[in-house]
């Protein structure tokens, strides 16, 4: 989503743009997410700081977060920094910086949806964050009220009767919910990215499928070498998602990147049950979404190396709970989809110029929100490349902050 959105914005402004992807656009990280353009997500995901939560994670049986020892050791330094940045003092400073990006998400997706003719994929009815206990719901409502006051986030609070009016087939264990009203939901996230990519090529952009072998500066220009061809350009944008950090090492940069892996699976439903809204089981940590391919179950975070083999235990644990929440039918996928969210320890992406290489631009590290923030990133980075003023202050996202 991030790379395609940047390409689209630059092409719309009259630049000649070539997009290089090892697969068809929309088949990597953006393919597997929950499919929500999250206008309400004005708080980034912080690392747990309270001892009760940390102790509950240690047995490695939670649905919302799992870890592997090798993955934790591999990312020990950035994870420690992530924990540090999640302290109340630092986190409160990060929230408005992060929120400045989130507030751009709907108005930057909208023209791209229209240009791509993708309105049929998008619903503008919000989603439900559901709760089993009143105390947890009340705490979340207080956070929502603060988000409404500071950042214009809109929501309704539902009691049990309100839930039954919207989702009559979910478990009676659910006593209340927050209905986030602003976000848009997408019935096929990969298809939306593909539609954006097609709009890019129809406006004159070039799409080259190939594995990048080398990116190097030659004089004042840049050379990108794939297994099939060599391309030259005045500017290069690195938007390689979870692979960006490793690629930047070849150019002498060492960003503290790490990944949060995730899984999804699609299910049929047991007739006559029907799921109407995207549902986040907030106290457990998974999401159900009524997508074109079936009801998609997406997991929380798995702290592991990006290349490690899949481990479906987290998905299986989520499925076990989900079947008590809603009457899921059989699995529709032969194997679970696995992907990785590209993260940085201060919970903010890098968006802007590389410090030591003129013509090299960076856009990665969006964590859980690359799908939400791709078009906003595209608009902002295009402004920066053209030397124009940006809608928000880009200082918090500069590359040289690490």
Radius of gyration of the chain from Cα atoms? 21
Average pLDDT of span 102-109: 98
Query: How large a percentage of the chain has pLDDT more than 90?
Result: 95
The arrangement of secondary structure in 1-49+87-123+187-257+344-401, i.e. its CATH architecture, is 3-Layer(bba) Sandwich (3.50)
Contact 118, 375 (CB under 8 A): no
Contact 191, 26 (CB under 8 A): yes
Angle CA(52)–CA(58)–CA(64) in degrees, nearest 5?
80
The C-alpha atoms of residue 400 and residue 253 are separated, in whole angstroms, by 10
Average pLDDT of span 330-353: 97
| pTM (whole model) above 0.85 | yes
Query: Residue 323 belongs to what H/E stretch?
Result: helix 313-325
259: β partners: 342
Average pLDDT of span 49-64: 92
Cis omega (within 30 of 0) for bond into 272: yes
Secondary structure tally for the chain: helices H, strands E: 12, 22
Residue 28 has pLDDT above 90, yes or no: no
Average pLDDT of span 167-176: 98
Q: Are strands 206-209 and 212-218 parallel, antiparallel or unpaired?
A: unpaired
pLDDT at 17: 98
pLDDT at 27: 86
Average pLDDT of span 362-387: 98
**Measuring CA to CA, how many Å separate 341 from each of 28, 72, 117, 279, 301?**
10, 15, 27, 20, 9
- Residue 5 tokens read as 């959105």
Contact 177, 130 (CB under 8 A): yes
15: β partners: none
**Measuring CA to CA, how many Å separate 246 from each of 26, 71, 194, 364, 394?**
21, 15, 26, 12, 24
Average pLDDT of span 249-257: 95
Contact 129, 144 (CB under 8 A): no
Angle CA(352)–CA(87)–CA(399) in degrees, nearest 5?
10
Query: Residue 33 belongs to what H/E stretch?
Result: none
**Measuring CA to CA, how many Å separate 232 from each of 127, 215, 226, 371?**
44, 10, 11, 28
pLDDT digits (tens, 9 = 90+) for 39-55: 999 999 999 998 899 89
Residue 390 has pLDDT above 90, yes or no: yes
pLDDT at 57: 92
Average pLDDT of span 343-353: 98
The C-alpha atoms of residue 114 and residue 343 are separated, in whole angstroms, by 30
Residue 128 has pLDDT above 90, yes or no: yes
The C-alpha atoms of residue 398 and residue 395 are separated, in whole angstroms, by 5
Contact 4, 20 (CB under 8 A): no
pLDDT at 26: 83
């Amino acid at each position: 989503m991030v790379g395609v959105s940047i390409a689209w914005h630059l092409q719309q402004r009259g630049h000649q743009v070539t997009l290089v992807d090892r697969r068809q656009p929309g088949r990597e990280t953006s393919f597997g997410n929950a499919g929500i353009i999250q206008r309400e997500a004005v708080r980034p995901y912080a690392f747990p700081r309270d001892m009760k939560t940390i102790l509950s994670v240690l047995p490695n049986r939670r649905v919302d977060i799992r870890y592997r020892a090798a993955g934790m050791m591999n990312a020990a330094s950035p994870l420690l920094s992530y924990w540090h940045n999640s302290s109340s003092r630092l986190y409160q400073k990060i929230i408005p910086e992060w929120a400045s990006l989130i507030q751009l998400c709907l108005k930057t997706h909208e023209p791209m949806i229209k240009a791509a003719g993708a309105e049929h994929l998008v619903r503008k009815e919000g989603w439900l964050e559901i709760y089993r206990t009143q105390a947890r719901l009340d705490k979340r409502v207080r956070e929502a009220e603060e988000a409404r006051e500071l950042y214009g986030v809109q929501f309704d609070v539902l009691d049990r009767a309100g839930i039954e009016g919207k989702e009559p087939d979910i478990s009676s264990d659910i006593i209340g919910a927050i209905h986030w009203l602003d976000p848009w939901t997408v019935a096929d996230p990969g298809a939306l990215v593909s539609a954006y990519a097609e709009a890019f090529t129809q406006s004159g952009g070039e799409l080259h499928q190939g594995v990048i072998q080398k990116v190097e500066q030659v004089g004042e220009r840049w050379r990108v070498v794939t297994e099939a061809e060599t391309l030259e350009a005045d500017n290069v944008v690195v938007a390689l998602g979870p692979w960006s950090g490793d690629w930047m090492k070849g150019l002498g940069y060492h960003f503290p990147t790490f990944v949060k892996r995730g899984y999804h699976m699609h299910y049929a439903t047991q007739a006559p049950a029907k799921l109407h809204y995207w549902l986040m089981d907030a106290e457990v940590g998974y999401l159900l979404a009524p997508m074109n391919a079936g009801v998609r179950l997406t997991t929380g975070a798995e702290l592991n190396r990006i290349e490690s083999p899949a481990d479906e235990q987290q998905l299986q644990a989520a499925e076990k709970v989900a079947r008590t929440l809603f009457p899921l039918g059989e699995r529709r996928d032969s194997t679970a989809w696995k992907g990785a969210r590209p993260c940085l320890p201060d919970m903010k992406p890098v968006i802007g110029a590389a410090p030591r290489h003129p013509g090299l631009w960076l856009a990665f590290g969006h964590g859980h929100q690359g799908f939400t923030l791709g078009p906003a990133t595209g608009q902002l980075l295009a402004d920066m490349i053209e030397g124009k003023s940006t809608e928000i202050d880009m200082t918090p996202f500069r590359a040289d902050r690490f």
